[in-house]
Structure 1
Amino acid sequence: MNPELIDQWFPVDQQRNYISMLVGRVGLTRRRAECFVRLWTYLLLKQQQELGNHLRQPLTNLQIPEGFVACTHREAAQLFYADKDRGSDRAAGMMLDKLIALGLIEKKFDGNTICIQIRPLPNLSFPKSEAPVKLEVNDFNPRTDAVLVASFLVRNYNWMNNNTTAVSHKIAKLLRTWSSQYSTGMRVLRRTDNDRPVGFYLLYPTSTESEKNFFLPPSKILHLSSASEIDPMTMVVPGNGDCTSVFVRSWMIDTPYKTLPNVCRFLEDVQQTLRKMQSDFPNLCDMYAMTIHPSYEELAMALGFQKIAGDPKSSLYWIYRAVDQFLALDIAKSVSSLDFASPDMEV
């Protein structure tokens, strides 16, 4: 498959339809959307050609290719810079890394060449006719969930700075440690057919000594994406009457499960968990979160969170909501106008 023939197989007007649906979602610029659509088209055509299937030209829509398809940086450069000054293989590789960090593709090396997989997008993919996946919300299991949860949490930190220290191993280890200290605030959205966690949140009861950190530049408090082994935030144990603050250390639903019903269900579960935590920490009244991924901002504002402290060195900032006010929210009404057909998010 010749990368330079993409426009013949999938006309520019058709590409623009897909690009328009993608632009503006979670840091996805028009240029990145263009590259993603061309890559998607190429991988689909290449796979079908390798399978000996004959497609009718031109295509009218795009299907998700099955699994990984070989695609070198040279091929990607031909795709991304076909109508522009020729870009380098390195530039194409950097664009692929951006698309990975945005949750649009996955990449692996099979020992001979780079292989790429398109991740499903709820608003663009054409699902097969199969029984819908059923989900349930229940407790985080440190023995079976830590590694799988870490694998999708790490993408948000990589989106921010592609920091290789934000590795799944470190996150999995911390999740198990936090669970051993206080597991009530750790919950997952789980598939019922295979028990796989596809969503996760962590409500972290914070010590009085750590509360000052909520008023410092957020970049100084990042732990999972830093090389430091020292956590600037300290958790307290049940019965601590001095605890007034809860840190929403994580809240995320993996693509393609982030739909309006699932978001509502998961947020309503946060309300239920907070009520349980108030039994353990009677004076709990303040709720803080840090924006890690830009897709969280719109949701946070819809839930009534307010910005309280920014960061001169990054786009991160602290947000705040009184616990009692959050518990009084009608979640479904608050988020009804939002569009959740976008990549992952985390607080």
Structure 2
Amino acid sequence: MELKNQTAVSEFHLLGLTDNHKLLSLVLTMFLSMYLITILGNLLIIMTISSGSQLHNPMYLFLSLLSINDICYSTVIIPKILVNLQGQDNSISYIECLSQICFASVFGGMENFLLAVMAYDRYVAICKPLRYTVIMNPVFCVLIVLVSLLLSTMDALIHSLMVLRLSFCTDLEIPHFFCELAQIIKLACSDTFLNNFFIFVAAFFIVGVPFCGIVFSYIYIVSSVLRMPSSGGKQRAFSTCASHLSVVSLFYGTGFGVYISSAVIESLRNTAMASMMYTVVPPLLNPFIYSLRNREMKEALRKLIGRLTYSVVISCDIHVSC
């Protein structure tokens, strides 16, 4: 097979979820709707936390950062899909593909770290309540977020630089709707041992370590809650963790489902459909999970909507009067 040096590669071709032109408008509408709901839902979470003074604590700080991260993660992937579907053009330039790999790795890594930090925050709040303000002080919160961002960025840069060293064959079709790192490596004609090695190392440190941290945090939380004498205390403790646990289950559950599906499903398009579940669906559903399952969020959201409605009514009255 003819080889083509990586510097000569100008573009890849994304095969997407379907090659049926009759379904393109439906797929376009679906992605556009999901993107708008993701942006609006997460912006509403950020506005609610910013406007609610009772929500100015580490737990909701991390939640607002998670919403910002979800907006960025979706923006890296979905707008390019919309452009390709609108123009019925499935190409993506080499630079765009490399940028998508880099930024998707950054925000995907941050998702893991933020979920782990939020689990640790709940562990401290429930297992060490008297020391909560001392442990989760502002300096520590900022530091742990910066370290998470640094590790995610380093991981993304390593993967991006490792892709730069690859040579590609004439077949540059990606059986996916975005440039996924694993799919790009499969297209390479040069040796990919180092690339796959770094993927496994990153999977351990960027995914495995945070996931183990979440598991151990909840083991201690559950054991601590079960020792509480009152049923009311147990219920309050579990309610503070319910939203976060639901988000964790959604994120890692869909990711694990994609891994299993890629191992047992031979159809690459079905694998692409499964991948959509962990790249697009969690950022879409996270705002609903937190707004519907968290009592403080629901109360703050109700107040925010009330203030916004009042402001709109006043503005309309002033406009009519003028």
With the shorter chain as reference, the TM-score category is under 0.3
* TM-score w.r.t. length of structure 2: 0.25
Higher RCO, 1 vs 2 (CA within 8 Å, ≥6 residues apart): 2
Q: Which has the higher strand share?
A: 1
Q: Which has the higher helix share?
A: 2
